[in-house]
Amino acid sequence: MARYTIGLDYGTNSVRAILVNVANGKEVASATWTYPHGKEGILLSDDPNLARQHPADYLKGAETTIKRALGVAKRSNQTFKPDQVIGLGVDTTGSTPLPVDRKGQPLAFDSRFEKDLDAMAWLWKDHTSIDEAIEITDLARKMRPQYLAKCGGIYSSEWFFSKILHCLRTNPKVFSAAYTWVEAADWIPAVLTGTEAPEDLKICVCAAGHKAMFNAEWGGYPDEKFLTRLDPKLGDLHTRLKTRAQAIDKPVGGLCKTWASKTGLREGIPVAAGVFDAHAGAVGSGIQPGMLVKILGTSTCDMMIVPADQRLADIPGLCGIVKGSIVPGFVGLEAGQSAVGDIFNWYVDYICPGGKRTGSHTALTNQAEKLAPGASGLLALDWNNGNRTVLVDPRLSGLLIGQSLHTTPAEIYRALIEATAFGALTIINRLEQYHVKVDRIVTGGGIAEKNPMVMQIYADVTNRPMMLSRSSQTCALGAAVAAAVCAGEYPDIPAAQEAMTGLKSKVYDPNPAAVEVYGKLYKLYRQLHDAFGTTAWKGSCFNVMKDLLAIRAEARGGAT
Amino acid sequence: MARYTIGLDYGTNSVRAILVNVANGKEVASATWTYPHGKEGILLSDDPNLARQHPADYLKGAETTIKRALGVAKRSNQTFKPDQVIGLGVDTTGSTPLPVDRKGQPLAFDSRFEKDLDAMAWLWKDHTSIDEAIEITDLARKMRPQYLAKCGGIYSSEWFFSKILHCLRTNPKVFSAAYTWVEAADWIPAVLTGTEAPEDLKICVCAAGHKAMFNAEWGGYPDEKFLTRLDPKLGDLHTRLKTRAQAIDKPVGGLCKTWASKTGLREGIPVAAGVFDAHAGAVGSGIQPGMLVKILGTSTCDMMIVPADQRLADIPGLCGIVKGSIVPGFVGLEAGQSAVGDIFNWYVDYICPGGKRTGSHTALTNQAEKLAPGASGLLALDWNNGNRTVLVDPRLSGLLIGQSLHTTPAEIYRALIEATAFGALTIINRLEQYHVKVDRIVTGGGIAEKNPMVMQIYADVTNRPMMLSRSSQTCALGAAVAAAVCAGEYPDIPAAQEAMTGLKSKVYDPNPAAVEVYGKLYKLYRQLHDAFGTTAWKGSCFNVMKDLLAIRAEARGGAT
C-alpha cells in the first residue's frame, strides 16, 4: 500500500496542500485556498510600507486545504485512505513573525487587539521597520560584527528583530502584551502538534539563522547585552527566546488530537520542523553542491548548499550563510534579487506599452525573441525594487540606457529581462569568487515554465545550462520530502530527494554566439552597477539614485 | 493703399507663402503646398541615412503657393491688387546643397541624371556623409583650427562640404558633371531673380557662415590648399565658389520677367537674400540681444544675437558664430538640441504607454501636469538622437533613471519633458559662461502653443520667463520682414522687426518653489551629462553609450 506525505506551502496570498507518494515524489492531489482577510490575504493601511496577515487564515487554510486534498485523492483513487498519510511538512514565507501570549496564542486572537494591525503576523514584505534595521545594522557593525558577517553585512527591515523593535517603539501596548514573538514557519507546525506554548515550542534553524542572526556558535540569538543596547525591553525578551533550533529532518512533534480530528489525518504522524518556502523549494528541486536553485518569481531566491566540512568564507552581500538551513549536513547559502517578475509585470501592467493587446507578456515575448542579443543598443539595471544581493541596498532604482528615437516596446522588454539575467550572473560571480562553484542552474515557477525565451537568455548570459524542476510545486514538494524523512522513510534529506525529486528533460544550453555578445554587455552592466551601486571608484554616480529618492521624498511631503 | 511683402518658407515637407502687411506684420493670406516627390517630399533609398529632395518641387512650390496666397488675399479683400506686393523673402532648410551645371541648372533637371539621387538636393537631415565629416574635422583640427572654432569644434555630416565630398567619393560621375554646388537657400532667390548662373549668383552669409566655414576674415570659404588636401578635385571646385556673401537686408535682385508672369507679381520687386528657416524664425520672433529665440519642434534651434562690436569669444559647442547671419550688424549664434518633440513623439508613437487612448500627448499631459517637480524620482537625459549642443556628439543615447515598481507612463512623460528643459538650460549656461546674457526665452511652434505644461516646465527649469511669438509662422514672417527692408520700407531689420513682429501677452513666469526643486535635479542631470557625455573626470561612463552602439552595430551585421 502506497504511503504519502503532505506538503503544506504557505505563500503570500494563498496556502496549498499537496499529497505526495513518498516512493517517487508523485503528486497525487492538491488543493489551494486564498486567505480571506485583507486584499488577497494581505492587511494594508495608509502606510504603503505596511503588509500584515491574520494568523487565523493560517489555521483555516491548513484545515481547508488538507481536507480538500484528501477529498481529491479519495475521488481519484477509491482505495485511498487518509491513514496512508504518514507525515506532514510545512513551509511558509518569512521573516513573518507574530506576537503571541504566554500560551502561544496570537495577540490577533485576543479581543483587545483584534483590530490592531501590529498584533497580526508581520508579513515578509512589510517595510515599516527601515529605521530599526539601520539601527540594528549600525550597532552590530560596532559591537558584534560577526552577526552581520553571516547575513551579507546588513540587517534587513524585512527581518525578525527589525519588526519587533519597530513594534516596541511605535506600539508599546502590543509589545508589552506579547509574551514573545514567533515566526509563522515555527508557529504553524507548533499548533499542528499542540506545542505552541513557548516552553514547548521548537524553532527551525532556517528562519532563525537567516533572519534573526541565530547561530549555534554564539549560543543562539544575539546576546542579551546586544539586544539591551537596542532597547532594554528587547533585552528582557531575550530570556523568552529559544536557545536551540532544529533542521527539517526532525519532527517538532506528532499531529495532535485536535488537528487529527479537524483534518481526518491519523493522530501522532510526525510534523517536520518548519522551513521557509524558498528553502523548501531548493529541497524539492533536488539541490546539491554545484547546483544553484533559483526560485524565479516576482523576486528571486537563489540557493546553494556547501558540505558543512568544507572551508567557507563569509561571503559579503549574501542574505544568509546558515549551517543546516536547507539540507542538514550542509551550509545553506541564500541570495536573491529584489525584483524580477515584478519588473516585467511593472512594464506590462503600469507602462502598458502599445496598449493591452500588443503589450501583453506573450505579445512582447513573441517580438523580443526575434531580436539578436545586443541589437537594440539598450542596457538596463534590474534595481526597480532596490538590490538585495550583492549590494544589499534598497535605496537603488531602475536605469535604462541606450534609447534612440526608434526604440520599441519589445526591445525594452528584452533589455529588462537581460538586466535580471545580468543581476543573476552577478550573484553567481560573487559565489564563485568565494570558491562556491556554480555548474548549473535549476529553476521553477511560472516564468520559467511559461517563457522559454527567459530561460535561453539566462543560459546565454550566465553561460550555464538552465534546467527546470520536474515539479511545478517545488516548495510544497520540499516540505513533503522533509515529512518523508521525519516519518523514517529515508535516512536523510539527500536520499529522499534522490527518490522524490527530479528535473525535466529539457535543458537550455548556452549558445556560444550569444554568450560572446552578452559577455560584452555584461562588462557594461558591471560598469553601471559599480558606478551607481558602489563607491568603489572615484567619480562614481553612487549619489544619483539616493539623491533622487531624497528629492522625491521631499516633493511628496516627506514620505519615502 | 496698404503695402505687402511675401515670405516664402521652404520646410522639410512643404512650402508656405504668407502675405504680410508691412505696416504691422499682419498676415493677410497664406497658402501651403506639400512637395509631391518621394515620401512627403523626401526622396529615400535603402540607406536609412539618405534624404534628398527634388529641386523641381521648390519651383513648382513657389509658383503654386504665391498664386494661391494672392488668390486668398483677393477673395478676402476685393480691392487687393498683386501690385501692392513690394518684395519677396525666402527661407529654406539647410544645409541643403544641390549640384548645378554651368548655367546654374540643377543636374536633377538633366535627363542623364533625372533618376540619380545624388543629383538631387541633399536635404539637411541626410546623414550619408558621416565619414567625410570626421575627415574634414580631423584635417581642420590639424591644419585650420580657426575654421572649427566658429562652428563648435566639429564639422557636421549634415553640412555643405561633407555632402559634396561624399558625392565626390561615391558618385564621381555626378560630381564631375556638376559645375558647382549651391545651397537651396541661395538657389531659389537666384532663380526668382534670374541670377542662377554661377557668375551672377549671390550667396547668403547665413548658409555659408553656419554650414560651410565661410568667414570674411579668411576671405570666404575654406582656402584652396585646405580643400585640396581633402581632395584635389575639391580644391578645383574652390575657384568656382563665391568669395563674398551678403545678409538678408539686401536684395539679390529683382523678380525676373518669367517669374513675374508665373506668379502675377510685379516684375522687378526686390527678392531678399535667402536665409535658413530657423534664422528667419528668429527675425520673425523679434530677436534682440538678451532674448534667446528657441524654435521648438521635433528638434530645437536656439538663436541669440550679440552686437558686432561687442567682444565675443569662440564659444565651444555652438553650431555657429557668424557675423550678420541673423540680423546685419550683429553676430548670430546658433545652438540646438537634436531631439525634443521627437522624443515626446517617440514615447507616444513607439512606446504607446497605456495604449492609444490613455497614451496620447493630451492624456499624458493631463496626468503629468498634476505631478509635483521631483515627485516621480525620475531623471532622464535628452539624448535619444545624440547631443548637438554643447557636446556635439551624435553617438550618445537616451537614459532614464529612478524607475520603481510603481513608475507610471505620465511620470516618464514628464521626466522626458524635463530632460529637454535641462538640455535647454545647459545651452543657456554655456552662453552665459561666455558672457552672452540670456534674460528671457521666446519660442513658437506647435508644442509651445499647444502645451502650457511644457512652457511652465521650461520656465521653472531655466528660471527665466518663457514667452510666445505673436505669429505662428515666424519663419515666413522673418522672410517677409527681410523683404520689407529690401523694399526700402524700413532702414534696417531691427526697425522692421519693431513694426512687424511681437509677442503674445501670456508670459510663463518661473515658480520659485519649482525652481528650487529643479535646481537640485539639474545638479544630478549635470552629473549624468558629464559622466556619460564627457571624459572630464576620472571614472566617467563616457564609454558606455558608445560601446552599446558598437555592440548594436555588430549585432545588426555592421550597420550603424
Give the model confidence (pLDDT) of B341-369 as tens digits: 999 999 999 998 986 667 899 999 999 99
3-state secondary structure (DSSP) of residue B9: strand
Average pLDDT over residues B77-85: 96
Element (H, E) at A181: strand A180-183
pLDDT above 70 (res A560): no
Residue A166 contacts by C-beta under 8 Å, 6 or more apart in sequence?
A128, A129, A131, A132
CA distance A388 to chain B (A): 15
- Partners of B540 on chain A (C-beta within 8 Å) are 539
Give the model's confidence band at B555: pLDDT under 50 very low, under 70 low, under 90 confident, else very high: confident
- Taking an 8 Å cut-off on Cβ atoms, the answer to whether B544 and A537 are in contact is no
- Taking an 8 Å cut-off on Cβ atoms, the answer to whether A401 and B346 are in contact is no
Mean of pLDDT over chain B:
95
Element (H, E) at A137: helix A130-143
The whole-angstrom distance between residue B307's C-alpha and the CA centroid of its chain comes to 22
The four Cα atoms B475, B477, B482, B486 give a dihedral, to 10 degrees, of 150
What Rg, from alpha-carbon coordinates, does chain A have?
23
Which of A355, A407, A540 lies closest to B350 in CB terms?
A: A407
Give the model confidence (pLDDT) of B369-382 as tens digits: 999 999 999 999 99
Q: How far apart are CA B484 and CA B21, in angstroms?
A: 9
Q: Which CA distances in Å does B476 have to A272, A316, B6, B67?
A: 84, 66, 8, 16
pLDDT at A355: 66
pLDDT at A445: 74
pLDDT at B551: 87
- Taking an 8 Å cut-off on Cβ atoms, the answer to whether A399 and B399 are in contact is yes
Q: Which CA distances in Å does A153 have to A140, A225, A226, A391, B139?
A: 9, 20, 17, 10, 56
Q: Are strands A52-53 and A121-122 parallel, antiparallel or unpaired?
A: antiparallel
Give the model's confidence band at A232: pLDDT under 50 very low, under 70 low, under 90 confident, else very high: very high
Give the model's confidence band at B153: pLDDT under 50 very low, under 70 low, under 90 confident, else very high: confident
Nearest residue on chain A to B547, judged by CA atoms? A524
CA distance A559 to chain B (A): 10
- Partners of B407 on chain A (C-beta within 8 Å) are 346, 350-351, 384, 398
Which of A377, A407, A556 lies closest to B375 in CB terms?
A: A556
Average pLDDT over residues A97-102: 98
Which of A372, A397, A554 lies closest to B404 in CB terms?
A: A397
All 3 cell numbers of residue A124?
Answer: 515578509
Report which of residues B191 and B152 the model is more confident about. Answer: B191
Which of A404, A528, A540 lies closest to B398 in CB terms?
A: A404
Q: Which CA distances in Å does A363 have to A353, B372, B559?
A: 11, 34, 27
Residue of B544, B546, B556, B560 for testing the chain A interface, max A β-carbons within 10 Å: B544
Which of A376, A547, A554 lies closest to B524 in CB terms?
A: A547
- Partners of B357 on chain A (C-beta within 8 Å) are 355
Average pLDDT over residues A260-264: 98
Q: Are strands B121-122 and B52-53 parallel, antiparallel or unpaired?
A: antiparallel
Average pLDDT over residues A383-408: 92
Running DSSP on this structure, what letter comes out for residue B324? T
The region of weakest confidence among A116-125, B290-299, B545-554 is B545-554
pLDDT at A449: 87
Q: How far apart are CA A38 and CA A42, in angstroms?
A: 5
- Taking an 8 Å cut-off on Cβ atoms, the answer to whether A551 and B520 are in contact is yes
Share of chain B above pLDDT 90, in %: 88
pLDDT at B554: 83
Which among A369, A393, A454, A367 is positioned nearest to A419, based on CA atoms?
A454
Q: Is B176 exposed, middle or buried (0-12, 13-18, 19+ CB in 10 A)?
A: exposed
Give the model's confidence band at B392: pLDDT under 50 very low, under 70 low, under 90 confident, else very high: confident
Q: How far apart are CA A205 and CA A196, in angstroms?
A: 17
pLDDT at A546: 81
Report which of residues B150 and A200 the model is more confident about. Answer: A200
Contact A292, A438 (CB under 8 A): yes
Residue B280 contacts by C-beta under 8 Å, 6 or more apart in sequence?
B7, B9, B89, B91, B248, B474, B475, B476, B477, B478, B479, B482
Residue in this structure with the C-alpha cell 566617467, named with its chain if needed: B540
pLDDT at B556: 81
Give the model's confidence band at B545: pLDDT under 50 very low, under 70 low, under 90 confident, else very high: confident
Helices (H), A388-511: 409-433, 446-450, 452-462, 474-486, 493-500
- Taking an 8 Å cut-off on Cβ atoms, the answer to whether B401 and A397 are in contact is yes
Mean of pLDDT over chain A:
95
CA distance A447 to chain B (A): 18
- Taking an 8 Å cut-off on Cβ atoms, the answer to whether A524 and B548 are in contact is yes
Nearest residue on chain B to A347, judged by CA atoms? B405
Q: How far apart are CA B163 and CA B441, in angstroms?
A: 33
Q: Which amino acid is at B461?
A: V
Report which of residues B435 and A559 the model is more confident about. Answer: B435
3-state secondary structure (DSSP) of residue B362: helix
- Taking an 8 Å cut-off on Cβ atoms, the answer to whether B543 and A527 are in contact is yes
Q: How far apart are CA B530 and CA B540, in angstroms?
A: 8
Give the model confidence (pLDDT) of B5-39 as tens digits: 999 999 999 999 999 999 999 999 999 999 999 99
Give the model's confidence band at A393: pLDDT under 50 very low, under 70 low, under 90 confident, else very high: confident
Q: How far apart are CA B251 and CA B487, in angstroms?
A: 8
Q: How far apart are CA A400 and CA A383, in angstroms?
A: 10
Element (H, E) at B95: none
Which of B357, B376, B409 lies closest to A351 in CB terms?
A: B409
pLDDT at B496: 98
- Taking an 8 Å cut-off on Cβ atoms, the answer to whether A521 and B379 are in contact is no
Running DSSP on this structure, what letter comes out for residue A514? H
Q: How far apart are CA B8 and CA A557, in angstroms?
A: 53
Give the model's confidence band at A357: pLDDT under 50 very low, under 70 low, under 90 confident, else very high: low
Give the model confidence (pLDDT) of B409-440 as tens digits: 999 999 999 999 999 999 999 999 999 999 99
- Taking an 8 Å cut-off on Cβ atoms, the answer to whether B397 and A379 are in contact is no
CA distance B395 to chain A (A): 10
Residue in this structure with the C-alpha cell 566540512, named with its chain if needed: A309
- Taking an 8 Å cut-off on Cβ atoms, the answer to whether B401 and A403 are in contact is no
All 3 cell numbers of residue A312?
Answer: 567557507
- Partners of B525 on chain A (C-beta within 8 Å) are none
Average pLDDT over residues B258-272: 98
Q: What domains can you pick out in chain A, each with its CATH number? A: 4-276 (3.30.420.40), 286-296+337-470+511-560 (3.30.420.40)
Nearest residue on chain A to B412, judged by CA atoms? A351
Average pLDDT over residues B48-59: 95
- Taking an 8 Å cut-off on Cβ atoms, the answer to whether A539 and B537 are in contact is yes
pLDDT above 80 (res B538): no
pLDDT above 60 (res A365): yes
pLDDT at B558: 64
DSSP symbols for A173-231: HHHHH-SEEEEHHHHHHHHHTT--STTT--EEHHHHHHHS--BGGGTBSSPHHHHHHH-
- Taking an 8 Å cut-off on Cβ atoms, the answer to whether A352 and B359 are in contact is yes
Residue A311 contacts by C-beta under 8 Å, 6 or more apart in sequence?
none
Q: How far apart are CA B428 and CA B335, in angstroms?
A: 10
Contact A430, A306 (CB under 8 A): no
3-state secondary structure (DSSP) of residue A303: strand
CA distance A98 to chain B (A): 28
Report which of residues A548 and B160 the model is more confident about. Answer: B160
CA distance A540 to chain B (A): 7
pLDDT above 60 (res B560): no
As for the ipTM of the complex, it is: 0.91
Torsion sign across C-alpha atoms B61, B62, B63, B68: positive
Which among B440, B443, B437 is positioned nearest to B285, based on CA atoms?
B443
Give the model confidence (pLDDT) of A481-530 as tens digits: 999 999 999 999 999 999 999 999 999 999 999 999 999 999 999 999 99
Give the model confidence (pLDDT) of A132-163 as tens digits: 999 999 999 999 999 999 888 889 999 999 99
Q: Is A515 exposed, middle or buried (0-12, 13-18, 19+ CB in 10 A)?
A: middle
Nearest residue on chain B to A540, judged by CA atoms? B539
pLDDT at B247: 96
Nearest residue on chain B to A397, judged by CA atoms? B402
Half-sphere exposure of A219 (CA within 13 A, CB side): 6
CA angle A148/A153/A157 to nearest 5° reads 85
Q: How far apart are CA A444 and CA A281, in angstroms?
A: 9
- Partners of B358 on chain A (C-beta within 8 Å) are 352
The whole-angstrom distance between residue A346's C-alpha and the CA centroid of its chain comes to 20
Give the model confidence (pLDDT) of A531-544 as tens digits: 999 987 666 787 78
Q: How far apart are CA B122 and CA A341, in angstroms?
A: 48
Neighbours of B422 (CB within 10 A): 24
Nearest residue on chain B to A299, judged by CA atoms? B405
Nearest residue on chain A to B550, judged by CA atoms? A377
